[in-house]
Amino acid sequence: MTTQVALRQKLSGPVGAIIVAAGQRTRMSGTDKIFAPVLGKPLIAYSLEAFSAHPLIDEIVLVLSTPVLDLGRELVRRNAYVKVRAVCAGGARRQDSVRNGLAALSPAVRWVVVHDGARPCVTADMLSRGLEATLETGASVASVAVADTIKVVDKSGRVIRTPDRSELWAAQTPQIFSRDVLTRAHVASQADATDDAGMVEALGITVRVFEGSRANIKVTTPEDLLIVEALLRASQARPAKANA
């Protein structure tokens, strides 16, 4: 893979990250999901730390639901996340939240990384792979090959067809775009969208996949928190084991 110095030269412009955590609030043990404690830290802290530590990420915008904006600002202040340029409120839909984050980035930003704040297992290597892949077409998405056989089913529960599994990939975040491409997609899109890559595809722009991770799960239930805790604990133990 390209070195960080060489990749920075190829990007030839600043990289901004939008960490989106403004969806419908799921409460776990009385706590908003995004601030649920995981190994002594709020869930959102893991994404903030991963992006803050990456040498090619120049600035970060954190997008939260309005009721937890003050919590987010206090977290940023307390942990001195100096790359965080703004903590702003999300919108009614996911794409509205991303659009708000896009507006909060500095005008100089040329490349934009969009990431779900509920995916705490994002890694530096994944971000680097994505930035490199984005250079090809201006758009890329972290993905993993589907392991299960997929059935297309109608509303009555009948199988319509079984698509070729070799062509199926599960999309994740981060998703990375040139700022121009992402802005055009948001201007053009009116319908609800589940991810930014789909909006870019609708423009006729080729989106490149890059290797995500099966560990890069999105926390949506209390059970997911237990899985994430185990994954993070294992990742934290690896360097210690290697140095033993």
pLDDT digits (tens, 9 = 90+) for 120-158: 999 999 999 999 999 999 999 999 999 999 999 999 999
Domain count of the chain? 1
Residue 151 lies in a domain: no
Query: Mean pLDDT over all residues of the chain?
Result: 93
Domain enclosing residue 198, as ranges: 4-142+171-238
**pLDDT digit string (tens) for 32-59?**
789 999 999 999 999 999 999 999 999 9
How many angstroms separate the CA atoms of 123 and 128, rounded?
Answer: 9
**pLDDT digit string (tens) for 73-111?**
999 999 999 999 999 999 999 999 999 999 999 999 999
Residue 243 lies in a domain: no
pLDDT at 222 over 50: yes
Cβ pair 227, 216 in contact under 8 A? no
Residue 55 lies in a domain: yes
CATH code, domain carrying 17: 3.90.550.10
Q: Is the pTM of this model over 0.85?
A: yes
Residue 201 lies in a domain: yes
Residue 77 lies in a domain: yes
Residue 70 lies in a domain: yes
Residue 46 lies in a domain: yes
Short-list 241, 176, 244, CA closest to 212: 176
Residue 153 lies in a domain: no
